[in-house]
Amino acid sequence: MKRGQKIISLAWAMLLFGFTVFAALDTFVIEHTYSAVEPSAAESPSTASPQAVQSAEAAPVAASAAATQEQSVILSATPEATQAPATAVPIVSTENSYSDGNVSITISEIRAYDSTVYVADVVLSSPEYLQTALANSVYGRNVKAKTSSIAEEANAVLAINGDYYGARESGYVIRNGVLYRSKAKRNGEDLVIYQDGSFEIVNESEITAQELLAKGAWNVLSFGPALLIDGDISVDENDEVGQAMASNPRTAIGIVDTLHYLFVVSDGRTSVSEGLSLQELAQVLLDLGAKTAYNLDGGGSSTMVFQGDVVNRPTTNGKKISERSVSDIVCITL
């Protein structure tokens, strides 16, 4: 090969390498902010105004108020009469419990399948206290923060990691009544939390994000899969083989009855706690009384925070106990 051809080949190889590195950084490291959470987006189901809430999908912060946004949806508010009344009930707080008359939380630790599992039993007087929050109050790609940091910013007494929407380019993202992403994930199984606090499992192939909003969806989580549907285990060892059969740290949320929820996190990948398969996680929630339950992001993301403290021992590789930064949380706010 002539010298000139070698130089050209080398230049092309360097260019290709540089592009590959940039693409990897752009996908996994460089932050892309699409939309900041507007004040109205943080309103609760029972206090939101009936004004139009615009979709923030793929819209930069500077253009979030522009008339050129592609989508606009109307979010109907629940009657103001449902707003939780002021109460004089004193706050009672201990290391593993919290109660103020509107929010009651009890934290317990159990052993199941050679794993340590942390259970937060939550009873609310109104659905407004069940919320989600985004890292740095921003929707975007590679925008991340620790679960404990997001919880502090959201004034959350209890929080678990969410569905880590930022790790995927598809799957519905609806947070506190605002539609951020409507691109469907093929056969994606979602948890819909409605304005009244009820749960439903839906398939993205069968309903659009806009239709869910019209039905009153307040939060939609799209990691999955569903663990329990109508009191029956909906996952088995043949489902999502790569995830289901492996023992890993896990995070899940379930509903027992009206405004009665379970937040569940299991440790894993250590000599003390092996971790759970999806079927084992579903069985734990069923034994705890859940009727509908949903699997959230797990592994190193699995974290529970209560009154500002990390309850469990999150780990990515089992060697170091530390929180992984995530894009969102599910929480109980005050």
Distance between CA atoms of 147 and 230, rounded to whole angstroms?
30
Of 244 and 227, which is predicted with more confidence? 227
What confidence category does residue 4 fall into, taking pLDDT thresholds of 50, 70 and 90?
low
Q: Which of 102, 105, 91, 100 is nearest to 129 (CA)?
A: 102
Give CA torsion, residues 178, 183, 189, 194, to 10 deg: 20
- What DSSP state is assigned to residue 248? B
Distance between CA atoms of 94 and 84, rounded to whole angstroms?
24
Q: What is the pLDDT of residues 290-322, one digit of tens each?
A: 999 999 999 999 999 999 999 999 999 999 999
pLDDT at 244: 62
| pLDDT higher than threshold 50 for residue 22 | no
- Name the phi and psi angles at 153, rounded to 5: -65, -35
Of 237 and 77, which is predicted with more confidence? 237
Distance between CA atoms of 113 and 94, rounded to whole angstroms?
28
Q: 280 to each of 32, 61, 116, 122, 224, how far by Cα in Å?
A: 37, 42, 13, 22, 15
* Average pLDDT along the chain: 83
Cβ pair 32, 165 in contact under 8 A: no
Distance between CA atoms of 251 and 246, rounded to whole angstroms?
14
Q: 151 to each of 19, 84, 243, 300, 332, how far by Cα in Å?
A: 37, 22, 27, 17, 9
pLDDT at 317: 92
Of the chain, the percentage scoring pLDDT greater than 90 comes to 70
Q: 197 to each of 123, 136, 255, how far by Cα in Å?
A: 11, 25, 9
| 130-152: average pLDDT | 97
Q: Which of 304, 322, 13 is nearest to 161 (CA)?
A: 304
What Rg, from alpha-carbon coordinates, does the chain have?
Answer: 21
Residue 317 CB-density burial (10 A; 0-12 exposed, 13-18 middle, 19+ buried): exposed
Q: What is the pLDDT of residues 176-222, one digit of tens each?
A: 999 999 999 999 999 999 999 999 999 999 999 999 999 999 999 99
Q: Which of 153, 109, 156, 149 is nearest to 131 (CA)?
A: 156
Distance between CA atoms of 146 and 134, rounded to whole angstroms?
11
Helix (H) or strand (E) holding 60: none
